[in-house]
Homo-oligomer: A and B are copies of this chain.
Amino acid sequence: MDKFETELWYTEKQTPNHGITTRINRTLHHEKSEYQSIDVMETRQFGNMLVLDGMVMTTDKDEFVYHEMITHVAMNTHPEPKNVLVVGGGDGGAIREILKHPTVETATLVEIDGRVIEVSKQFFPEIAGRLDDPRVQVRVEDGIKHIREHQNAYDVILVDSTEPIGPAVGLFQKPFYQGIYDALREDGIMVAQTESPWFNRDLIRQVFRDISDIFPITRLYTASIPTYPSGLWSFTIGSKKFDPVEVDESKLPHLDTRYYRPEMHKALFQLPQFVQELIEK
């Protein structure tokens, strides 16, 4: 080793005044797609890292948390999910988790940016590797349009979006949730990633209120994701019939997971006080 080693660090301002910095070995990919900038870096701490518009989307080492947690809470609340839709989620991680449920007949991925799918297949084979499963339908199109054209079609819909700026802004607005309601069957359930309880309190409050106005059952839960802002991430569920806190945990299947456990299913909804206050009137 040389006396002076070149150190490369990727620094992301997660807020105007705070962020993470992580050492990289090299950049693997950079492009500007039709919708956003797409970067892949090889980091020392977290393996390969996918960055869209300067924001970490996923990494090899902690991706399992986000992908398991956006998927299994809703999937294990619905007693028999057959037709499942992912809006966004071009990396394929949510699809991989959905396919762990044997009831699934079709898993549809609607991603607006086809380049995210291709880049993920190339640099994240562990995440995107199940996109060629015969049950999977990949559609490169606008999620809002797809929702509008598929009424009463899905049992579970996952909104696996980027941050509420850029191409995903419409995925955080009330008309979109109404569209999801209409695209779900009469006992359907949705879940959306809804940012950090530390840094995005107004957004969480607003989304929870919007979903509550549309769905009879609304629930919030969190998970620990070290490469996301604040390390704590929230997910919001809207459900027409089945309440996640009413499931019989003893009957839930034990899937091959590293974060989600059936035994934590109900415990997830016992939120810290400062998070609980975000969803109370």
Instruction: List residues of A whose CB falls within 8 A of some B CB.
Output: 11, 15-23, 43-46, 62, 65, 198, 222-226, 230-232, 257-261, 263-264, 266-268, 270-274, 276
Contact = CB atoms under 8 A, between A and B. Distances in A.
9 contacts: A18-B21, A18-B45, A19-B20, A224-B230, A224-B232, A226-B231, A258-B272, A260-B272, A261-B272
A104 to B, nearest CB: 21
Contacts of A268: 267, 270
Contacts of A224: 198, 222, 224, 230-232, 272
Nearest to A228: B231
Q: How many copies does the complex hold?
A: 2
B11 A17 contact: no
A45 B17 contact: yes
A17 B270 CA distance: 34
A258 B232 contact: no
8 nearest A-B pairs in the assembled complex, by CB-CB distance:
A231-B231, A267-B267, A17-B44, A267-B270, A264-B270, A18-B45, A226-B230, A224-B232
B259 A270 contact: no
Contacts of A62: 198
Contact of A226 (B16, B232, B259, B264): B232
A67 to B, nearest CB: 13
Contacts of A257: 273
Contact of A260 (B15, B18, B225, B273): B273
B22 A20 contact: no
Contacts of A43: 17-18
Contacts of A223: 272
Nearest to A12: B21
A112 B91 CA distance: 50
B23 A20 contact: no
Contacts of A259: 272-274
A247 B1 CA distance: 56
Nearest to A230: B226
Nearest to A229: B226
Contact of A272 (B20, B264, B270): B264
